[in-house]
Amino acid sequence: MSESMRGTRLGATSYEVDNGLSAPRQLTTYVCPEAHHTTLPFAAEADEIPDTWQCACGLMGTRWGHKLQEQPEGRYVRTHWDMLLERRTIAELEELMKERLALLRGSQKKSA
Ligand SMILES: [Zn+2]
């Protein structure tokens, strides 16, 4: 009979285990050249998460989804205008402009 009582007590105490780990943390995954994944939890407020981490196989893994600082020389940087052109053609923009101008002229005529 005493054994079943001990069992319930174990279940009750297991609650407290997680309490110390409630600090927010982010998982960071590193991928080595052999495509091994290493995922490590870092404190979310840690501003110094390493960009590289040594894999279990001994190779150096790089942070998953993290772009290294190096940027190719003279790299093309998209402007707002480029992004606009990706969504609309010049012809469409001209149409929009005409519509806008017509609206402007129309409202001016009305108020005049
Ligand atoms: Zn590896």
- What per-residue confidence (pLDDT) applies to 74? 59
Structural domains in the chain (count): 2
| CATH number of the domain bearing residue 41 | 2.20.28.270
- pTM of whole model > 0.75? no
The pLDDT score that the predictor gives to residue 54 is 94
Distance CA 102, CA 88 (A): 20
Q: How much distance in Å is there from the Cα of 64 to the middle of ligand 1? A: 13
Does some domain include residue 52?
Answer: yes
The Cα–Cα gap between 55 and 60 comes to: 6
Distance of CA 109 to the CA centre of its chain: 50
DSSP per-residue codes, 37-87: EEEEEEETT-S---SEEE-TTSSEEEETT---S---TT-----HHHHHHHH
The predicted pLDDT at position 55 comes to 95
**What are the tens digits of pLDDT across the range 4-55?**
555 555 544 444 445 555 667 788 899 999 999 999 888 877 677 888 999 9
In the reported structure, the alpha carbon of residue 31 is separated from the centroid of ligand 1 by a whole-number distance in angstroms of 7
Say whether both 62 and 80 belong to one domain. Answer: no
Structural domain range at position 82: 76-112
Of all residues in the chain, the percent with pLDDT exceeding 90 is: 23
Query: Rounded to the nearest whole angstrom, what is the distance from the C-alpha of residue 59 to the centroid of ligand 1?
Result: 5
Read off the tokens for 109: 């005529």
